[in-house]
Structure 1
């Protein structure tokens, strides 16, 4: 089930954020992610966050953060990846929206393929100034757009 983030989810969501970034972005130093943990911890409660949670598990296995029609991040617990959680979170975000955008590192090929499979297209290339890494800006447009 997908539900709105609650304060009690913060530690689990932070764990998913750090684990996901370290696993998916081995081309960026671990120190970068750890140095940004407190900033993210402060920003998360104010974001538009939704978590995916199986009732019997009692803890979130994934989450998506939105800022309007922009996807700030999508994270799924390592052992739960490729089980449909990420797609379910994306489908949830698409409901009621005509378009969504996001940025993803070009070297994160698994994520790029995931977004392409889920209807996104590469709109342009750019550079993340914080890391110096090349990234894609991707977009999804609903039917008829």
Structure 2
């Protein structure tokens, strides 16, 4: 298992990350319908370009997941649906904590698996908003790392 930072995202890797993003969202974001997922998917490539650090986790020469970080905040963390619960997310998050000093993130309240995952790794809810960043009625939990 290897974690690498992508400094320049090429088209094939971008497509692979987009596929991972969609598989992860379909497995965990049950509150979104198909049209909403497809609409959000259009913005994901731009989100890749807006993070300071884009990290991928590779196992057996395949990308299993990725994480985007700005400053000390996790902006995105997605693991391929076929390989969830195998430690890839924990490895990425722990790497970010140790190497990039991440200590905050935001997560959809309606994604209880993710909330539990982050709580298990030491994050606690410090704020709740009724809507997401686009103003949609999906409550967001702001979480901070407490050791």
Q: Same fold (TM over 0.5)?
A: yes
Alpha-carbon distance between aligned partners in 1 of 2:32 and 2:14, rounded to the nearest angstrom: 24
Which runs of 5 or more residues in structure 1 are unaligned? none
| Larger mean Cα displacement after TM superposition, 31-40 or 95-104 | 95-104
8 Å contact kept, 2:124–2:145:
yes
Shift of 1:98: 4.7
Give the root-mean-square deviation of aligned CA atoms.
Answer: 1.7
Alpha-carbon distance between aligned partners in 2 of 1:113 and 1:81, rounded to the nearest angstrom: 14
Alpha-carbon distance between aligned partners in 1 of 2:15 and 2:83, rounded to the nearest angstrom: 18
8 Å contact kept, 2:68–2:75:
yes
8 Å contact kept, 2:71–2:102:
no
DSSP-derived class of the 2:119 partner = helix
Partner residue in 1 for 2:123? 120
Length, aligned pairs only: 140
Shift of 1:96: 4.1
1:76 aligns with 2:79: yes
TM-score (norm 1): 0.87
1:53 aligns with 2:58: yes
Q: 1:44 aligns with which of 42, 48, 61?
A: 48
